[in-house]
């Protein structure tokens, strides 16, 4: 307490920081954490400030320098080199020696007598020498004291000694820190593997891997699809739940309440006589088949992501084994899912407010650990916003303590605060409102929020143009051009994106009924077999877009997004660049799926490192066409019937030694 009273330095507004340090910020391995703070003291003394950082499991801090910006704002940075958890803080103290040097310079410049001042400096060095004690530094400092006080040196020589760079460096390392202030509490960084920041998802129902809708597809069948999915450039293959499906109140085709014989039911009605969340639907195959499929997928550079849907069918083993985990009604029945007056009788929600909640939590954790045991490292979590935040915080923390490589994607399409809080408590990635953001104004506003506001420190967007639950009006009405536009938007606005695959690549756009976002003949309730080689398939475009993403680092991150003016409301223009400007990707999309549009766009040439006077090349990575532009204003035109987007790489002109120009 008394030590605190003697601190002269104030540290405020440390960034990044989430809710006063209650939650960590997120990074992936290899990234820099740029830390800033307001740091100041009373009076006019100079300060010394350092950024402190360490892995959470380490005991002692490493230090990085901090430099003043303007208005008492300081900045430093450190690199997170491995996955797991890092901590950081900021410290600062009054630097008496640097202050003395600064004032000495001013006094010397004014021609003042410095003899007493030099003795004051010698005393500061002497003090540092004593605290450095027997070490070599102490010896060196002691010599410096002697020279500063030496009467045989001229004033000029002694001034030179006082301001000597080596002495400055020695003092910076040896000087005691008088009553340093340390920001509190230490702030945390969750460091993920790179796939947390850059991933390309393909969602599919394995049971539809069949040429005959009467025959349930299997994991073995899925193996045959892996080469094509990999060739399209996906690296995460996400399966809806693969567990046994309940028979009581099973839903029929098109969500009818009465299933007919042979109806396969919804994979989200988890659990039957064959088992629950740790079992595999017998028609899909065995656990060995699943592991074999996952291994083969890895061979193609793809990871399988499983669906974590914490809910039960009436036939789930837990209903008998743990009736206390469900809500019981006065008539003896178990409460099924409802959104009054709607009823979902094929689903029993878990009752998190039950008295045996701790056993429930542990069992749910065992589910995750079981699948980790099968080699799974990515989970897409179904409706996390209907289970308590505290549960997720506990679960994700528990899992990541031993398995920091595990990623969780939150499928919460709900209110903004709720989505943000799920990201804060630990979800690695989050579904977003991108699905329904269609106009230039909507996209611009939303992506500025996602990529430039404080929420980006913890919420990583994963963009989905469609899901098995959501066939948007834009896709329904816009048809194939709309699918192309939404693909390019998702894949270039976000480093993480995914499609509900076969339905997307085949541009399936028929709703259950007008005004509905449900698919007609939805795969949620039936097996769908399709001609994946249909000529209108977007497979080639998807493969191109994903190749462009892999080949251009600028598209593998979110924060570098910038929008540019273009004088047509139906055209949107934005860029992403690497920090060194080696790669500048410029995207233009025609948002109107029905009409050709053209416009003049305006580029910030200087910020792109381009010369106002020289031409530069626009290389369309989709069409391989190349255009020569010069100046900031240029013309584009896009026909949605052909392709509604350009993904340009801007290439600067480079002159070789042999006087031969080319575009880099």
CA 491/CA 503 separation, integer angstroms = 17
Establish whether 324 is a catalytic residue: no
Among 57, 60, 67, 106, binds a second copy (CB under 8 A): 106
Query: Which 46-75 residues touch a second copy, going by CB under 8 A?
Result: 71-72
Q: Does 151 bind a second copy (CB under 8 A)?
A: no
CA 413/CA 464 separation, integer angstroms = 11
Backbone angles phi, psi at 552, to 5 degrees: -125, 105
Among 57, 59, 110, 166, binds a second copy (CB under 8 A): 110
Among 82, 135, 227, 416, binds a second copy (CB under 8 A): 416
CA 363/CA 545 separation, integer angstroms = 41
Pattern 372-411, binding to a second copy, x per CB under 8 A? -------------xxxxxxx--x-----------------
- Exactly one of 382, 457, 523, 558 is catalytic; name it: 382
Backbone angles phi, psi at 343, to 5 degrees: -125, 140
Q: Does 8 bind a second copy (CB under 8 A)?
A: yes
Strands 337-339 and 645-651: unpaired
Among 154, 173, 330, 535, binds a second copy (CB under 8 A): 330
By CB under 8 A, which span of 80-88, 101-109, 280-288, 362-370 interacts with a second copy?
A: 101-109
Q: Which is nearer to a second copy, 201 or 391 (CB)?
A: 391
Establish whether 382 is a catalytic residue: yes
Among 61, 357, 446, 627, binds a second copy (CB under 8 A): 357
CA 226/CA 86 separation, integer angstroms = 37
Q: Does 113 bind a second copy (CB under 8 A)?
A: no
408, 305 Cβ separation under 8 angstroms: no
Q: Does 144 bind a second copy (CB under 8 A)?
A: no
By CB under 8 A, which span of 39-47, 75-83, 85-93, 428-436 interacts with a second copy?
A: 39-47
Q: Which is nearer to a second copy, 14 or 491 (CB)?
A: 14
Q: Does 6 bind a second copy (CB under 8 A)?
A: yes
Strands 84-94 and 47-55: antiparallel
Q: Which is nearer to a second copy, 328 or 366 (CB)?
A: 328
Backbone angles phi, psi at 411, to 5 degrees: -95, 75
Report the SS3 class of residue 58.
coil
E strand or H helix that includes residue 109: helix 96-109
Report the SS3 class of residue 65.
strand
Among 42, 580, 624, 659, binds a second copy (CB under 8 A): 42
- Convert 228-260 into a string of H (helix), E (strand) and C (coil): HHHHCCCCEEECCCCCCECCCCCCCHHHCCCCC
653, 615 Cβ separation under 8 angstroms: yes
Among 16, 40, 307, 548, binds a second copy (CB under 8 A): 40
- Residue 523: Cβ within 10 Å count: 23
CA 180/CA 242 separation, integer angstroms = 57
By CB under 8 A, which span of 302-310, 332-340, 464-472, 629-637 interacts with a second copy?
A: 332-340
CA 602/CA 588 separation, integer angstroms = 12
- Residue 87: Cβ within 10 Å count: 19
Among 44, 513, 655, 658, binds a second copy (CB under 8 A): 44
Q: Catalytic site residues?
A: 382, 411
Q: Which residues bind a second copy (CB under 8 A)?
A: 2, 4-8, 10, 12, 19-20, 38, 40-44, 71-72, 103, 106-107, 109-110, 112, 116, 119-120, 123, 178, 329-331, 333, 338-341, 352-353, 357-358, 385-391, 394, 415-418, 421
């Amino acid at each position: 307490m008394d030590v605190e009273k003697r601190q002269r330095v104030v540290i405020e507004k440390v960034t990044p920081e989430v809710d006063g340090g209650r939650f960590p910020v997120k990074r992936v391995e290899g990234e820099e954490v740029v830390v800033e703070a307001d740091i100041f003291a009373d009076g006019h003394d100079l300060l010394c400030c350092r950024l402190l950082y360490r892995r959470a499991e380490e005991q002692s801090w490493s230090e990085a320098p901090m430099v003043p910006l303007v208005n008492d704002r300081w900045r430093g940075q450190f690199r997170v080199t491995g996955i797991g958890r890092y901590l950081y803080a900021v410290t600062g103290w009054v630097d008496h020696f640097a202050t003395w040097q600064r004032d000495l310079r001013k006094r010397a410049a004014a021609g003042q007598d410095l003899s007493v001042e030099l003795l004051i400096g010698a005393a500061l060095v002497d003090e540092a020498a004593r605290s450095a004690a027997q070490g070599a530094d102490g010896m060196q400092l002691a010599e410096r004291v002697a020279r500063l006080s030496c009467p045989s040196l001229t004033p000029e020589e002694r001034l030179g000694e006082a301001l000597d760079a080596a002495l400055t460096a020695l003092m910076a390392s040896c000087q005691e820190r008088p009553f340093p202030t340390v920001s509190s509490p230490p702030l945390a960084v969750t460091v993920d593997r790179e796939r947390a920041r850059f991933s390309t998802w393909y969602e599919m129902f394995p049971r539809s891997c069949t040429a005959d809708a009467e025959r349930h597809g299997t994991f073995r069948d899925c193996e045959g699809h892996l080469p094509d999915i990999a060739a399209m450039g996906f690296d995460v293959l996400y399966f809806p739940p693969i567990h046994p499906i309940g028979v009581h109140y099973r839903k029929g085709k098109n969500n009818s309440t009465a299933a007919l014989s042979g109806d396969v039911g919804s994979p989200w009605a988890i659990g039957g006589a064959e088992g629950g969340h740790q079992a595999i639907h017998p028609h899909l195959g065995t656990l060995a088949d699943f592991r074999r499929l996952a291994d083969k997928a890895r061979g193609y550079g793809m990871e399988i992501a499983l669906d974590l849907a914490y809910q039960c069918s009436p036939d789930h083993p837990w209903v008998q084994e743990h009736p206390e985990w469900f809500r019981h009604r006065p008539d003896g029945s178990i409460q099924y899912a409802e959104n009054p007056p709607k009823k979902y009788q094929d689903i029993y929600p878990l009752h998190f407010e039950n008295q045996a909640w701790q056993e429930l939590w542990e069992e749910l954790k065992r589910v995750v650990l079981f699948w980790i045991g099968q080699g799974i490292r990515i989970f897409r979590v179904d409706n996390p916003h209907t289970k308590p935040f505290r549960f997720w915080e506990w679960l994700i923390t528990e899992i990541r303590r031993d398995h920091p490589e595990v990623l969780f994607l939150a499928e919460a399409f709900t209110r903004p605060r709720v989505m943000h809080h799920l990201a804060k408590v630990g979800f690695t990635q989050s579904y977003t409102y991108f699905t329904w953001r269609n106009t230039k104004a909507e996209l611009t506003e939303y992506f500025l929020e996602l990529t430039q506001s404080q929420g980006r420190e913890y919420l990583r967007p994963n963009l989905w143009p469609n899901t098995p639950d959501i066939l948007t009006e834009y896709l329904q009405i816009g048809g194939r051009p709309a699918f192309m536009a939404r693909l390019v938007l998702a894949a270039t606005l976000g480093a993480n994106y995914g499609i509900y695959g076969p339905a997307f690549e085949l541009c399936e756009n028929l709703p259950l009924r007008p005004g509905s976002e449900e698919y007609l003949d939805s795969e949620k309730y039936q097996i769908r077999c399709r001609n994946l080689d249909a000529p209108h398939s977007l497979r080639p475009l998807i493969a191109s877009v994903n190749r462009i993403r892999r080949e251009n680092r600028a598209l593998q991150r979110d924060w570098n997004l910038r929008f540019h003016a273009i004088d047509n409301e139906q055209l949107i223009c934005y860029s992403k660049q690497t920090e060194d400007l080696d790669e500048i990707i410029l995207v233009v999309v025609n948002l109107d799926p029905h009409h050709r549009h053209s416009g003049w766009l305006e580029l910030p040439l200087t910020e792109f490192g381009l010369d106002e006077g020289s031409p530069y090349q626009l290389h369309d990575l989709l069409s391989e066409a190349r255009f020569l532009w010069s100046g900031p204003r240029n013309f584009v035109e896009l026909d949605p019937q052909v392709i509604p987007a350009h993904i340009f790489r801007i290439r600067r002109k480079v002159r070789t030694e042999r006087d031969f120009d080319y575009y880099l």
